[in-house]
Amino acid sequence: MSKTFEIIEVVGVSTISLSEAILTAVKEANGNKQVSWFNVIEERGRVTPEGEVEFQVTLKIGRKLS
C-alpha cells in the first residue's frame, strides 16, 4: 500500500460562504482522484463590480498516489 501523496493547490470560489467555497473545491478535486486530506491556506473575499460578495479559499489538497 502506497504511503506517497501528491499535493495540489486549488482555489475555491463561492458567493454563498467560505464553507461552500471549500466544499466546492474539495468535491471538484475529488472527481479526478480521491482526496485524502486538505488544508485551508488562505481565506479572502472580494466585492464584484455588480456589488456581490465573493468568498475565495486557497487549499492544499493531498491525494494518494496509486
Q: What is the pLDDT of residues 6-20, one digit of tens each?
A: 999 999 999 999 999
CA atoms within 13 A on the CB side of 61: 24
Strand partners, 44: 56
Domains of the chain: 5-64 (3.30.1660.10)
Phi, psi at 39, each rounded to 5°: -135, 125
pTM of structure: 0.86
Judge whether 40 and 57 are in contact, CB under 8 Å.
yes
Q: What is the pLDDT of residues 10-53, one digit of tens each?
A: 999 999 999 999 999 999 999 978 999 999 999 999 999 999 99
Query: What's the average model confidence in pLDDT over 2-6?
Result: 85
- Confidence label for 2 from pLDDT (cuts 50, 70 and 90): low
Using the structure block, give the residue that is written with the C-alpha cell 492544499.
60
3-state secondary structure of 48: coil
